[in-house]
């Protein structure tokens, strides 16, 4: 450590806060607060990337830690990471692009599997700048407290309290009336990828349609599938799959218009000159988006645009921005997604951090004509067989949510391992409970020879442990099938219902029409704590 580090450590009282676990704050800021009269610490005369302010502390085993800090640098705009050095290695808590003359919020987290001392420091490969740090917070949670936050968030954002009153034709309350509430369709989009095998397999169709309300096609809409040879475009398979989805009231995500990974470009594309490639991409985007305009709920316009740059390398650095510009003109009503992996899965993947994701969105919007793009954030969520870092996952979504763009988990799976089902449950709970996640799609399209990385069923469509996790989540948190009870002395019955469309049946023997059935649409409450449904019986 160099420069002012020793001086800084003396000022840590009131600057560094290790808080007792209370509630969790899902908010984050991607705006930069101006420099006021606040006190902060500075690391200057830096020689090595890890030279910075530092603090020794003690971490507790099996605790989930959330972390935040405000960061500024003396000049330019550079990436800065928060790192905890432990007895067993290094933990990357999070990273941010820090700027000069204003403060940027770094938010992250990690889980500790062994108690012991640790040292917090801030790292940047650019050693020519000073790093300024202010308002650090490190908050520990037990697993029970973490799950409590999830439950609280679900009650607040995914459910609404409903009061139903049974009265007779004179308005007199009917006590002890029997109430039965059955879910017809859940509002939260929860789905699974499919492939063309579903068109020919009734068992696959029955298993899928009894569970999911949204889907995405595994490969069938991709450019290499629809135009394997130049000029020979064939949409017959995705057409049939789209008709299947529409017949069963299943929403479809458009995946994808372009894929920036050079491995997945059909041979004829690689042989094109830049001029011919530009024309081919324009033809492609016009062809597929015009065909399915109004038929899909969103488009992955450019897939994996942070890890790869095939089109940029051929057409210039603004290639993706041009694609989004054209996409908006063709289908301006649909949400246009940037779809990426490892933004929430892996803190150590420097290519797709939340900070870099945000910068890519800024770059796309900065292109002339893109200021009003209807953008969306697609998080592929391909998790490894290691325990998921739920604190980093949550903090990353918090950071991305500050854009106010819709956030979808688009390709969720967990690599095969002894705890695959357990980790899938943890990730699904975390994703569904986050207030800003607008939909979840699992990446488990069935094939006889096996799924991409994670199957939910065997080849007879009997649930595997992962499939049981999905069904339990649906039944217990996303699509609770029914609720029943009796009215109180004032004729009221109360329930906390997940958002969706319900059928409500009231039965009372003293009424002329002893049973009444009515639809109830439970939506997010806007300010009011309760919705009240008044049902009247003929005397």
Residue 180, CA distances (Å) to 187, 495, 529, 532 in order: 20, 11, 22, 16
Over its C-alpha atoms, the chain yields an Rg (Å, rounded) of 26
Comparing CA positions, the residue from 120, 121, 119, 123 lying closest to residue 98 is: 123
* Residues noted as catalytic: 304, 411
- Angle made by CA atoms 446, 448, 450, in degrees to the nearest 5: 65
Q: What are phi and psi of 366, to 5 degrees?
A: -75, -15
Q: What is d(CA 216, CA 412) in angstroms, rounded to the nearest whole number? A: 12
DSSP character at residue 196:
G
Residue showing tokens 């996409």: 327
Q: What is d(CA 245, CA 309) in angstroms, rounded to the nearest whole number? A: 32
Q: Which structure tokens are listed for 76? A: 């330019």
Strand extents, DSSP E, 112-237: 116-123, 131-141, 159-167, 178-186, 190-192, 214-216
Q: What is d(CA 212, CA 186) in angstroms, rounded to the nearest whole number? A: 10
Residue showing tokens 């697993």: 143
DSSP character at residue 478:
I
CB 288 within 8 A of CB 300: no
CB 71 within 8 A of CB 80: yes
Comparing CA positions, the residue from 170, 167, 162, 173 lying closest to residue 489 is: 173
Task: Reduce the DSSP state of residue 112 to 3 states and report it.
Answer: coil
Residue 335 neighbours by CB under 8 Å, 6+ apart: 297, 298, 299, 374, 375, 376, 406
Comparing CA positions, the residue from 217, 248, 253, 222 lying closest to residue 408 is: 253
Cα atoms in the 13 Å half-sphere on the side-chain side of 259: 17
DSSP character at residue 98:
E
Is the Cα dihedral 379, 385, 390, 396 positive or negative? negative
Comparing CA positions, the residue from 477, 522, 483 lying closest to residue 150 is: 477
CB 89 within 8 A of CB 33: no
Is the Cα dihedral 190, 193, 198, 202 positive or negative? negative
Listed as own residue / partner, the contacts of 149-152 with beta carbons closer than 8 Å and 24 or more positions apart are 149/23, 149/24, 149/433, 150/429, 150/430, 150/433, 151/433, 152/23
């Amino acid at each position: 450590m160099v420069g002012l580090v020793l001086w800084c450590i003396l000022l840590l009282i009131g600057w560094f806060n290790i808080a007792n676990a209370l509630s969790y704050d899902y908010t984050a800021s991607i705006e930069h607060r101006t420099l006021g009269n606040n006190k902060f610490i500075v690391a200057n005369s830096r020689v090595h990337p890890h030279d910075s302010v530092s603090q020794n502390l003690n971490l507790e085993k099996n605790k989930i830690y959330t972390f935040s800090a405000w960061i500024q640098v003396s000049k330019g705009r550079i990436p800065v990471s928060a790192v905890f050095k432990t007895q067993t290695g290094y933990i990357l808590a999070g990273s941010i692009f820090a700027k000069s003359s204003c403060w940027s919020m770094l938010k992250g987290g990690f889980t500790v599997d062994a108690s012991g001392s640790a040292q917090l420091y801030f790292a940047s490969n650019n050693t020519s700048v000073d790093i300024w740090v202010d308002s650090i917070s490190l908050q520990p949670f037990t697993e029970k407290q973490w799950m409590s936050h999830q439950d609280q968030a679900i009650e607040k954002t995914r459910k609404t309290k409903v009061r139903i009153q049974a009265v007779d034709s004179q308005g007199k309350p009917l006590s002890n009336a029997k109430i039965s509430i059955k879910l017809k369709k859940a509002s939260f989009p929860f789905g699974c990828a499919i492939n063309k095998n579903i068109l020919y397999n009734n068992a696959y169709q029955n298993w899928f349609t009894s569970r999911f309300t949204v889907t995405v096609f595994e490969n069938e809409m991709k450019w290499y599938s629809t135009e394997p040879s130049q000029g020979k475009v064939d949409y017959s398979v995705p057409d049939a799959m789209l008709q299947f989805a529409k017949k069963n009231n299943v929403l479809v995500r458009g995946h994808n218009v372009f894929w920036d990974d050079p491995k997945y470009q059909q041979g004829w594309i690689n042989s094109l000159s830049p001029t011919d490639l530009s024309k081919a991409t324009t033809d492609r985007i016009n062809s597929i988006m015009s065909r399915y305009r109004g038929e899909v709920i969103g488009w992955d316009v450019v897939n994996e645009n942070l890890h790869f740059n095939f089109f940029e390398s051929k057409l210039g650095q603004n290639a993706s921005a041009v694609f989004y510009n054209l996409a908006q003109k063709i289908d301006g009503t649909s949400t246009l997604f940037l779809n990426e992996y490892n933004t929430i899965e892996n803190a150590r993947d420097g290519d797709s951090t939340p900070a870099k994701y945000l910068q890519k969105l800024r770059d796309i919007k900065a292109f002339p004509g893109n200021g009003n793009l209807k953008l969306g954030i697609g998080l592929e969520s391909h998790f490894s067989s290691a325990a998921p870092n739920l604190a980093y996952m949550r903090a990353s979504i918090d950071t991305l949510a500050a854009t106010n763009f819709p956030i979808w988990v688009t390709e969720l799976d967990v690599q095969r391992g002894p705890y695959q089902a357990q980790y899938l449950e943890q990730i699904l709970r975390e994703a569904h409970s986050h207030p800003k996640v607008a939909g979840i799609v699992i990446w488990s399209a069935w094939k006889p020879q096996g799924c991409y990385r994670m199957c939910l069923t065997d080849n007879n469509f009997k649930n595997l442990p992962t499939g049981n996790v999905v069904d339990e989540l649906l039944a217990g948190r996303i699509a609770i099938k029914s609720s029943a009870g009796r009215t109180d002395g004032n004729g009221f019955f109360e329930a906390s219902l997940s958002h969706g469309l319900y059928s409500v049946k009231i039965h009372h023997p003293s009424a002329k029409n002893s049973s009444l059935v009515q639809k109830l649409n439970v939506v997010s409450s806007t300010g009011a704590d309760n919705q009240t449904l008044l049902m009247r019986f003929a005397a």
